[in-house]
Structure 1
Amino acid sequence: MTEPPDPRPAARQWAGMLGALDDDDPVRPTPCTDDTVGDLVDHVDKGCRGLVTVAGAPLIGPDDTAEPAAAHVRGDPRQDLAHYAVALAAAWSDPRARTGSSPVAPGVDLPNAIRGRIAPAELDVHGCDLARANGRPFALPDDVLRDSLDRLLAFVPTAPVAGLGSEPVAVPPGTPLLDRVVAAAGRRT
């Protein structure tokens, strides 16, 4: 089996974009159906925390909060969220994280080797979602994007739980690689 994609480039961009959010950004719409920037940030925050824990790495930072998603991107919590994105990248870079399996829903386990390949694609897609919602650039190395595209095209149609992926969107030949990755995750480009 080949090594999983490197999640660090997307994690660094994600962290940088979080730091650039202002107080008006949480209510902006995103390419995700019905989700605001605040919802997206909350989703990625929870996903990062959960995936860091699944990888067996310690969560260093504040406990989960019951605050609404939009409140998560105001003030200092942005730095905590950025920390978790970078922590996810570090945790899944350790080959030991990709052993065993863990639950994704009651009674449904997913091999951690698959999680280790999908987690970077999640950061790639949601990083692009956040950038597009806020009119910011987002670029990743082609090898990272190719791997994310391959992983999404293989995983989404066979996801073990409904809702772990959206139906891929068809794109014409010649579509840029980042747009193909986003389309594979069910987003219109």
Structure 2
Amino acid sequence: MPDIELTARAAAPLLEIIRNVKPNQLDARTPCAEFDVRALVNHLLFWGPSLEGAGRKESVPPPAAAESDIDLTGGDWAADLEASVGRVVAAWSTPAAWEGATHMGGPMELPASLVGGMVVGELVVHGWDVAQATGQRPVWDDGLMDYVYEEVAKGAEQGRQMGVYGPEVTVPASAPTLDRVLGLTGRDPAWTR
């Protein structure tokens, strides 16, 4: 599977999820314990420019304002988020994005393939978070999920040490790949709202 397709394949279900979030669902809690839907949308909007910049080999620091300062009451937040995700997909849709090193919003260089894997995982896992909170059932293709599992497994322990992931949730080896990805990130695949 060519790397240039990964981000688009991860984003397609997320974009559908975004289009189906109703305004009264923004306060719904999500499986990502720190975030309700509104805070998760803020998180995706906040980090979008840095994820896009990483694909273009540009260091784009996150905005000076806190994630929680993004105001979703004015304008069309769904269109803003769709546009942001579209820019991230475009930035990661060239072979050069996946080669060499890049920055993730700061001065430290990281392998571009590692950052690309984090971007793809972010779109899938947070897409699932929003979907669960809003009663949606997205589907990502099996090949993509195998890739995401491998990428998340590589950094899961470090993610837990950094506080990005919660404690691993035990999931049977025979469970669907998405469920095993979720378990690695500290999410219970059986979570309900």
> How many residues in Structure 1 have an aligned counterpart in Structure 2?
183
Q: How far apart are the structure 1 equivalents of 2:108 and 2:10? A: 28
Q: Structure 1 pair 150/70, CA: closer, same or farther in 2 (3 Å)?
A: same
Q: Structure 1 pair 20/128, CA: closer, same or farther in 2 (3 Å)?
A: same
Q: How far apart are the structure 2 equivalents of 1:13 and 1:73? A: 24
Deviates further, 72-81 or 28-37: 72-81
What secondary structure, in the 3-state scheme, does the structure 1 residue paired with 2:103 have? Answer: strand
Q: How far apart are the structure 1 equivalents of 2:144 and 2:20? A: 24
What is the identity percentage for the equivalent residue pairs of Structure 1 and Structure 2? 25
**Shift in Å, 1:34:** 3.0
Do residues 150 (structure 1) and 150 (structure 2) align?
Answer: yes
2:13 — aligned with what?
13
What secondary structure, in the 3-state scheme, does the structure 1 residue paired with 2:117 have? Answer: helix
Contact 2:54 2:115 in 1 (8 A): no
Q: Show the 5 A alignment for 1:47-86.
A: 47-56=47-56, 68=68, 71-72=71-72, 75-86=75-86
Where does the alignment leave 5 or more consecutive residues of structure 2 unmatched? none
2:39 — aligned with what?
39
Amino acid at match of 2:81: L
**Shift in Å, 1:20:** 1.8
Q: How far apart are the structure 2 equivalents of 1:151 and 1:28? A: 29
Q: How far apart are the structure 1 equivalents of 2:67 and 2:164? A: 24
Q: Show the 5 A alignment for 1:1-189.
A: 3-4=2-3, 6-56=6-56, 68=68, 71-72=71-72, 75-98=75-98, 99-103=100-104, 108-159=108-159, 162-189=162-189
Q: Structure 1 pair 179/70, CA: closer, same or farther in 2 (3 Å)?
A: farther
TM-score by length of 2: 0.80
Where does the alignment leave 5 or more consecutive residues of structure 1 unmatched? none
What secondary structure, in the 3-state scheme, does the structure 2 residue paired with 1:72 have? Answer: coil
Q: How far apart are the structure 1 equivalents of 2:171 and 2:108? A: 32
Contact 2:55 2:97 in 1 (8 A): yes
Q: Structure 1 pair 32/108, CA: closer, same or farther in 2 (3 Å)?
A: same
TM-score by length of 1: 0.82
Q: Structure 1 pair 25/73, CA: closer, same or farther in 2 (3 Å)?
A: farther
Deviates further, 120-129 or 19-28: 19-28
**For 1:121-157, what per-residue CA distance to the aligned partner results, in whole angstroms no more than 9, with x for missing partners?**
1111111111000001110100101110111001122
Amino acid at match of 2:24: D
